[in-house]
Amino acid sequence: MALRVLLFCLLVLAVIEGHCREAAIPGCHLHPFNVTVRSDRHGTCQGSHVAQACVGHCESSAFPSRYSVLVASGYRHNITSISQCCTISRLKKVKVWLDCVGNQRGELEIFTARACQCDMCRLSRY
């Protein structure tokens, strides 16, 4: 009986791990997505390319502020927080080939993420 319970538990763990492997990747990492580029609303020229984005989570924390911070803020800043966001640390240029009306071909360079990292959250990045 104990052996059956053990085998059942191992089977459940194997199914759960295989099913949630993508979602369970810790930290900040590259994630591919398809980009479609159009020259105008009519799609005179268009093309697509797989680009990379940075997705995931980073550590953040909050704690009571030090006394010096409390005094300097007039006792309004009683919690200090440190936040990190998943951001692009290196970029690379990739070429997107555009198919145009009249069997013409064009070329456009776009940027995609090459590497990601957890870094200080900055409003200007988002």
The answer to whether the beta carbons of residues 80 and 65 sit under 8 Å apart is: yes
**Residue 7: per-residue pLDDT:** 28
**Residue 21: per-residue pLDDT:** 44
**Residue 30: per-residue pLDDT:** 95
* Each residue's pLDDT tens digit, 15-74: 334 334 444 567 999 999 999 988 888 778 899 999 999 999 998 899 999 999 999 999
Helix (H, G, I), strand (E, B) or coil at 33: strand
What's the rounded mean pLDDT across residues 85-109? 90
Q: Both ends of the chain: CA-CA distance in Å?
A: 56
Domains of the chain: 2-125 (2.10.90.10)
Structure confidence at residue 125 as a pLDDT band (50, 70, 90): low
What's the rounded mean pLDDT across residues 83-91? 92
Is residue 47 within a helix (H) or strand (E), and if so which, with residue range?
strand 45-56
**Residue 11: per-residue pLDDT:** 33
Provide CB contacts within 8 A for 61, sequence distance 6+.
81, 82
The one-character DSSP state at 31 is: E
Return the higher-pLDDT residue of 125 and 82: 82
**Residue 69: per-residue pLDDT:** 92
Pairing relation of β-strands 28-38 and 79-82? unpaired
Residue 6 pLDDT > 80: no
pTM, entire model: 0.61
User: Which residues is 55 bridged to in the sheet?
Assistant: 29
